[in-house]
Structure 1
Amino acid sequence: MSLSQFMEKRTSFNPFVIGLTLFFILLLVAMILIAPEQTQSLLNQAKAGIFANFSWFYILAFSIFLGFLLTLSVSSLGNIKLGSDEEEPEFSFLSWLAMLFAAGMGVGLMFFGAAEPLTHYLSEITSGAPEHRQQEALLHTLFHWGIHAWAVYGTIALALAYFGFRYKLPLALRSCFYPLLKDRINGKMGDLIDIMALLATLFGIITTLGFGAAQLGAGLHQMGWVSENSFGLQVIVITVVMSLALFSAISGVGKGVKILSELNLTLAFLLLVFVLLTGPTLYLLSAFSDNIGNYLSNLVQLSFKTYVYEQEHTAWFSGWTVLYWAWWCSWAPFVGLFIARISKGRTIREFIFGVLVIPSVFGILWFTVFGNTAIWLNEGDAAGALGQMISSPETLLFKFLDYLPLPTVSGLVSLIVISLFFITSADSGIYVLNNIASRDKSLTSPNWQTVMWGLLMSMVAIVLMQSGGLANLQTMTLMVALPFAVLMLIMCFSLWKGLNADKKYFATKVNPTSIFWTGEKWKERLGQMMNQTQEKDILRFLKHTALPAMRELRQELIGKYNLSVEIHALLEQEEPAVELVIQKESLRDFMYGIKSVGREVSEQLINDENLPHIQHHTTYEPYTYFFDGRVGYDVQYMDQAELIADILKQYERYLSLLDDVGQELMAHEQTELAE
C-alpha cells in the first residue's frame, strides 16, 4: 500500500497539512537533540527579535479584536443569530453561562493565581506605598487575564460559530475565510490556514502541559510524597497524565469526562471559597469591588500601552504582557472551538456579552482572592517568605496554602484540580488537533491518530523542557502565535464582510412591483428574468412602456381633473430617464421618475455554468426616483397599466401626506427653493 493510499484509507489526515506540520516539529526536535546550544541561541535570538520588533503589533492587534467585538455588539449586526433565524439555543442561558465559566478555568489560573500578583507587587513595575503597589499589581494581573484574553477567544469562536451554523460550512478555521476565498478554502489556501492554526494550537497546549507538569511535581514534593521536583519527575507526570488523557479519548467515555469536568469545576470553586473564608474575608470583598473599578478605569490606557516612554519597564512588558498575548493567540483555536460548539442559536450580541463579561468577572474574583491574600500573607504571617519563592511559581501555591488552615486537605484538593485540568485539557486538545488536521471535518479519526498526537505533544514538551525549561516552551508559543495573530486580523475582515452580506441578504425584500404580477404572463416574466438587460433594453422600455404610460396618465389628469402635468423625456443624457411632474403652487411638485442604472456583476456569476444568461460585466435596470429623495426600485417587469397603477400609488401617498407632516415639510422646502 502506497503512502497516499494509506493516508486516504487509514487516516482522516489532510496529507499536505499534517506533512508540513510534522516536518516543522520533527526538524525542531532534531535541531535541539543534535545541536542544543546553537538551537538555544537561535531560539533566544528569535525571541529577542519578536520582543524588539513586534511587541507593538501584539498590543494593537488585541485592542482591535476587542474593539471589533464591541462594535458588533452595539451595531445592528448584533441581532444576527448564530444559526437560522428560527434557531433556538441548544442550552439554556444559565447552562451556557456555566459552561463559559468552566472554559475560563484552567491550569493557568492555578499556576499564576497567587504567584503573578505577588511577583508584580515585588517588581519595579509597581511603585509607591504598599497599598498602591498592591493595587497596581492586581491591575496588571487582571489586564493579562481579563477581557482582552476573552476578546481573542470570542473573535475566533464567533467566526467559527457564525460560518458553521449560519453558512452551514464545516466547523473549521478555514471556513472563517469563505467571504474572501470562496471555494478556495478547500484548496491550498485553506491548507495553509490549517497549518498555522495547528502549530499555534500544538505549542499552546504543550506550554500548558509544561506548566501543569511543573506545578504537579511541586505539589507532590510539597506534600512530602517525593524528595524533589526533578526533571525526571516531571517527565513521569507528563507520561501518566497523557496516558490518562489518551485512555479517555480512545475509550470515548465522554460522559465520564463530562462528570470529571463538573467535579473539577466544583472543587476549584470550593477551593476559592475556602481561601476567601479563611483569609481576610472583608478585606477581599472590598478589594474585589476596588479591583473591578480600577481595572475598568485603566482599561483603555493599558490596551494601547507599549512602554515606549518607560524603557526601564520594557523587559517586564515583553516577559509578561507580550508572552501572555502570544499564549492567548495559541489557545484561541482550542477554546474558540469549544465556545462555538455550545453557542448555536445565540444572537451575536448575546454571545459577545456572555463571552467577554462572565469569564472576565470570574477571573477578577479568582485573582482577588488568591492574589490579594498572597500579598496580605507575605506582608504579615509569612514575613516575606512567599516573596522569596516568586522565582519558582509552581511551588508558591502550595507554600501559600500552608499559611491557611487545613493545608494538607487544601493541597490535596489543589493537586486533584490541577491533575483534572491537565487531563481534560490534553483530551480536548487532541480532539481539536485531529479536527484541524483532518481533510474532512465530519470524519471520525482512528485511535492511532489520537495516540500519535499524545506521543508527539509529550515528546516535544519533554525535549523543550529538558533543553531550556518553560522559557523554551514560551519562545515557541511566541514564534508561532505571531503569524496566527495576523491571520486572525484577516479573519475579522472576513467576518465583517460575511455579516454585512448576511444583513443585506435577509433585509432585501421582494421587488415591490411584483405585487402586480398574476399568473397570466408568467412565461413573459420568466423570459425577462432570464435576460441580462443592457442599456439599449432600458431605452426601449423607457420609450415604448414608460413614456406611453405617463402620456396616457397625463391626458387623464389634465383633461378630466384640470391638473398641471409635465413629462420630461431625458433620453440623451448619461443616465437616460423619463419624469412625470404634477405641479403644485404652494408645495413641492410631485415627481415620479425612471432612470437607467448600471450595476456591476461579479466574476463568479459570469463564470457560473448554471447561469448561461449572465455574460456581461454590467447589467442595467430601470429604477424609480421620487420628489422626496426616497430610494427607488426596479420596474422593468411592469407593463403600461401596471406602471400607471404604481405612479398613482405614489401620488396617493403624496396626497395623504398633505394633511400630515408632509404639508409642513414640503411647504418649507418649497419656500427655500423659491428663495
Structure 2
Amino acid sequence: MGIRTLIQQKSSFNPVVIGITLLFVSVIFVAALLTPAAMQEVLNAAKEAVFRHFSWFYVLTFSLFLLFLILLCISNLGSIKLGADEEGPEFSFMSWLAMLFAAGMGVGLMFFGVAEPLSHYAAPVSSGQAKEAMLHSVFHWGFHAWAAYGIIALALAYFGFRYKLPLALRSCFYPLLKDRINGRLGDAVDVLALIATLFGIITSLGLGAAQLGSGLQQLGWIRENSFSMQIAVIFAVMGMAALSAASGVGKGVKMLSEANLVLASLLLLFVLSSGPTLYLLSAFSDNLGYYLSNIVRLSFKTFVYEPENTGWFTGWTILYWAWWCSWAPFVGLFIARISRGRTIREFAFGVLAIPSIFSVLWFTVFGNSAIWLDTHGASGALAALTSTPEKLLFAFLEYLPLSALSSVVALIVIALFFITSADSGIYVLNNMASRDKSIASPKWQAVMWALMMALVTIALLGSGGLGALQTMTLLASLPFSVLMILMAFSLWRALEADKKYFSAQVTPTSIFWTGERWRERLGQMMNQAQEKDILKFLKHTALPAMRELGGEMSDVHGLSVQTNIFLECEEPAVELVIEKETMRNFVYGIKTVGYAIADQLVQDDNLPHIQSNMAYVPMTYFSDGRTGYDVQYMTRQELIADILKQYERYLSLLENVGQEIMSHEQTELAE
C-alpha cells in the first residue's frame, strides 16, 4: 500500500497539500533544532530582505483591502446577499455583532494592550506624546487589520453560500480558475494558506506561553519564567486544545468562549473604574477622533522621508500586517460561518466597524491607563519593562487595587484564549488540509496538529525567541498576501457577474410573444446566429418594416422620414430617422453586433446548437445613446410596434425634460 493510498484511507487529508506542508514544516523544525544559530542568521537575513524590498507592498496592499471593502459598501454591489436572495440572516443582528465582538478579542489584545502603547510612547516616533502612541496602537489593530480578515471572510461566505461551493479558500478563485480549483492550482492555494495560518497561530501560541509564564511568576506560583517552564505551558495548553478538538465537544468550547468574553469585559470594566476613569472616557473620544482624522495619512505612510523611524516602522507596522495576513484565513473562516444571509454592505460595515471600535476602547483603557500610571506614580517603572512585554500586563495590574484577584482573572482569560484559539486553529488547519471539506476528520489528526504546533513553537522559541516566530510569520504571509490580492480580484469579477445575472430582464422581443409560431421561435433560439443570418434579418425583416412604417408616416402624416442602409460597413446596419428642425432627430437603428462565446460552452456536448466561438445579434441603437437590445426574434409587424413604442417615448419626452436636453444638443450641433 502506497503512502498516498494510506493517507486517503486513514485520514481526511489531501495527500499533496499535507505532504508539501509537512515537508516544509519539517525542514524548519530540524533546522531550528539542530542549527539554531545558523537558523537565526538565515531568518534575520530573510527578514531584512523583506523589510527592505516589500514594506511598501504590505502598506499598499492593506490600504487597497480597506478601500475595496469601502467601495463595495457604497456601490450597488453592496445589496448582494451572502446566500440566496430570499434567505434571511442565520443569526439576529445583535447576536452577530456579539460574535464579531468576540472575534476581536484574543491573546494578542491581552499581550499588547499595555505593552504596545508604552513601547510607542518611549519610541522617538511618538516623541513622548501619549496621543501619538495611542494613534499608532489603534492604527495597528483597527480598520486595516479587519479589512484583511474581511476580504477572506467575504470571499469565503460569498462563494460558499451564493455559489454553493465548499467553504474553502480554493473556492474563492472559481471565477479565475473554474473547475481547476479542484486540481493542482487549488492544492497550491491550500498549501500557501495552510503554511501562513500555521505560523500565524504558532506566533500567537508563543506570545501566550510567554505571558502565561510571566503571570504565574508574578503571582508567585513559579520561581522563574524559564524556557523549560514555557515548554511545559505550551504542552499543557496544546494538550487541552487537542483533547477538546478530538472530543468534538463544540458546545463546551462555545461556553468557555462566552465565559471568557464575560471575564475579559469584567477586567476591562475593572481597569476603567479603578483607573483614571474620567481621563479614560475623554481619551476614548479623543483617540477615536484622532485615529479617524489621521487614517489616510497613516494608510500610505512608509517612512521613506523619516529614515530614523524606519526600524520602528518595519518592526511594528509591517510585522503586524504580516501577522494579520497569516491570521486572515483563521478569523475569516469563523466570520464567514456566522454571516450567512447578510448583505455585503451590512457585512462590511459590521466587520470593519464593530471590532475596530472595540480595539480603540481596549487600548484606551489599558494603554492610556498604563501611560498615565507610568507618569503619575510609577516613575517610569512600567516603561522600563518594554523590552520584556510579556511582563507588562501583570506589572501594570500591580498598581491597581485587588491586584492579586485581577491578575488571576487575567491569567484565566489568557489561558482560555490560548486554549480556544488553539482548538479553533486545529479545526481550521484540518479544514484547509482536507481533500473533502464535508469529511469529518479522525481524532488523531487533532493530536497531530497540536503536537506539530507545540514542537515548532518550542523549536523556534529556542532558536530565536519571539522574534523567530514573528519572522516566520513575515516570510510565510508574503506569498499569501499576493494570493489575497488575486482573491479580491476574483471576488470583484464574481460580484459584477452576479449583479448582471440577477438584474437581467427578459428581452423586449418576448413582450410580443403570444404563443403563436412558438416552434419557429424555438428553432431560432436553438440556432447560433452568424453574420449572414443577421444580414438576412436586416434585409428581409427590419428594412421592409422600416420602409412600411416610414411610408405611412411620410405619406399620411407629413413627417420627414429617411431610411438609411449601411450593409457594407464593418457593423452592417439599417435605421429609421425622423427629422426635427429644432430638436434631436428620432433614430431607431439596428446594427450587427458580434460577441465571443466561451470555449467551455462550445465544447459542451449538452449545448449542440453552439458551434462557433463567435455569435451575432441584431441590436437596436438610438440617438440619445441608450443601451440597445436584441430584436432577432421579432417579426415585421412586431418591429413596427417596437419602433412606434420608442417613438411614443420620444414624443412624451419632448413635452418635459427631453425638450431642454434635445434642444440644447441641437443648438450645439448648429454652432
The TM-score with structure 2 as length reference comes to 0.98
Which of 379, 388, 413 pairs up with 1:392? Answer: 388
Structure 1 residue 585 displacement after superposition: 4.2
Structure 1 residue 236 displacement after superposition: 1.1
Match of 2:3 in 1: 3
Structure 1 residue 609 displacement after superposition: 2.5
Q: Equivalent residue of 1:520, what SS?
A: coil
Which of 485, 488, 493 pairs up with 2:484? Answer: 488
Q: Which moved more, 1:513-522 or 1:323-332?
A: 513-522
Which of 343, 346, 352 pairs up with 1:356? Answer: 352
Which of 271, 276, 281 pairs up with 2:272? Answer: 276
One-letter amino acid of the structure 1 residue matched with residue 193 of structure 2: A
- Is the CA contact (8 Å cut-off) linking 2:263 and 2:413 kept in structure 1? yes
Q: Which moved more, 1:201-210 or 1:552-561?
A: 552-561
Match of 1:48 in 2: 48
Give the ranges of 4+ consecutive aligned residues of structure 1 lying more than 6 Å apart after TM superposition: none
Q: Which moved more, 1:574-583 or 1:653-662?
A: 653-662
1:33 aligns with 2:29: no
- Is the CA contact (8 Å cut-off) linking 2:592 and 2:618 kept in structure 1? yes
- Is the CA contact (8 Å cut-off) linking 2:206 and 2:466 kept in structure 1? yes
Indicate how the Cα distance of structure 1 residues 663 and 300 shifts in structure 2: closer, same or farther if over 3 A, else same: closer
> What does 1:167-246 align with in structure 2 at a 5 Å threshold?
167-246=163-242
Structure 2 gap segments, 5+ residues each: none
Looking at structure 1, the residues matched to 64 and 584 of structure 2 have their Cα atoms a distance apart, in angstroms, of 48
Structure 1 residue 102 displacement after superposition: 0.4
- Is the CA contact (8 Å cut-off) linking 2:238 and 2:422 kept in structure 1? yes
> What does 1:621-640 align with in structure 2 at a 5 Å threshold?
621-640=617-636
Structure 1 residue 616 displacement after superposition: 2.0
Looking at structure 2, the residues matched to 178 and 15 of structure 1 have their Cα atoms a distance apart, in angstroms, of 22
Match of 1:466 in 2: 462
Deviation readout 1:451-488 (Å, 9 max, x if unpaired) = 11111111111111122211111111011011111111
Looking at structure 1, the residues matched to 193 and 540 of structure 2 have their Cα atoms a distance apart, in angstroms, of 60
Match of 2:15 in 1: 15
Structure 1 residue 349 displacement after superposition: 1.1
Q: Equivalent residue of 2:630, what SS?
A: coil
Structure 1 residue 373 displacement after superposition: 0.8
Q: Equivalent residue of 1:581, what SS?
A: strand
Structure 1 residue 491 displacement after superposition: 1.1
One-letter amino acid of the structure 2 residue matched with residue 571 of structure 1: L
Structure 1 residue 517 displacement after superposition: 1.2
Match of 2:418 in 1: 422
Q: Equivalent residue of 1:340, what SS?
A: helix
Looking at structure 1, the residues matched to 434 and 441 of structure 2 have their Cα atoms a distance apart, in angstroms, of 8
Structure 1 residue 530 displacement after superposition: 1.5
One-letter amino acid of the structure 1 residue matched with residue 22 of structure 2: L
Structure 1 residue 607 displacement after superposition: 2.4
Deviation readout 1:130-178 (Å, 9 max, x if unpaired) = 5xx1111111111111111111111111111111111111111111111
Match of 1:597 in 2: 593
Looking at structure 2, the residues matched to 315 and 562 of structure 1 have their Cα atoms a distance apart, in angstroms, of 83
Which of 359, 365, 388 pairs up with 2:361? Answer: 365
- Is the CA contact (8 Å cut-off) linking 2:619 and 2:628 kept in structure 1? yes
- Is the CA contact (8 Å cut-off) linking 2:247 and 2:443 kept in structure 1? no
Looking at structure 2, the residues matched to 585 and 150 of structure 1 have their Cα atoms a distance apart, in angstroms, of 60
Match of 2:323 in 1: 327
Deviation readout 1:617-651 (Å, 9 max, x if unpaired) = 22111111123222111110011111111112112
- Is the CA contact (8 Å cut-off) linking 2:36 and 2:462 kept in structure 1? no
Q: Equivalent residue of 2:124, what SS?
A: coil
Looking at structure 2, the residues matched to 554 and 385 of structure 1 have their Cα atoms a distance apart, in angstroms, of 94
Match of 2:137 in 1: 141
Structure 1 residue 237 displacement after superposition: 0.9
Looking at structure 2, the residues matched to 434 and 263 of structure 1 have their Cα atoms a distance apart, in angstroms, of 26
Structure 1 residue 559 displacement after superposition: 4.0
Indicate how the Cα distance of structure 1 residues 35 and 404 shifts in structure 2: closer, same or farther if over 3 A, else same: same
The TM-score with structure 1 as length reference comes to 0.97
Indicate how the Cα distance of structure 1 residues 148 and 568 shifts in structure 2: closer, same or farther if over 3 A, else same: same
Looking at structure 2, the residues matched to 620 and 100 of structure 1 have their Cα atoms a distance apart, in angstroms, of 50
Q: Equivalent residue of 2:230, what SS?
A: helix
Structure 1 residue 192 displacement after superposition: 0.5
Looking at structure 1, the residues matched to 281 and 298 of structure 2 have their Cα atoms a distance apart, in angstroms, of 25
Match of 1:660 in 2: 656
Structure 1 residue 658 displacement after superposition: 3.3
Which of 610, 613, 620 pairs up with 1:617? Answer: 613
Looking at structure 1, the residues matched to 248 and 215 of structure 2 have their Cα atoms a distance apart, in angstroms, of 30
Superposition CA RMSD, Å: 1.4
Between the two proteins, what is the percent identity of the paired residues?
A: 69
Match of 2:84 in 1: 84
Q: Which moved more, 1:375-384 or 1:100-109?
A: 375-384
- Is the CA contact (8 Å cut-off) linking 2:39 and 2:463 kept in structure 1? no
Aligned length: 671
Looking at structure 2, the residues matched to 279 and 664 of structure 1 have their Cα atoms a distance apart, in angstroms, of 68
Match of 2:290 in 1: 294
Looking at structure 2, the residues matched to 69 and 5 of structure 1 have their Cα atoms a distance apart, in angstroms, of 43
Match of 2:249 in 1: 253
Structure 1 residue 49 displacement after superposition: 1.3
Q: Which moved more, 1:2-11 or 1:398-407?
A: 2-11
Match of 1:587 in 2: 583
One-letter amino acid of the structure 1 residue matched with residue 109 of structure 2: L
One-letter amino acid of the structure 2 residue matched with residue 96 of structure 1: W
Match of 1:644 in 2: 640
One-letter amino acid of the structure 1 residue matched with residue 106 of structure 2: G
Match of 1:108 in 2: 108
Which of 371, 377, 382 pairs up with 1:381? Answer: 377
Structure 1 residue 527 displacement after superposition: 1.3
Looking at structure 2, the residues matched to 146 and 599 of structure 1 have their Cα atoms a distance apart, in angstroms, of 46
Structure 1 residue 263 displacement after superposition: 0.6
Structure 1 gap segments, 5+ residues each: none
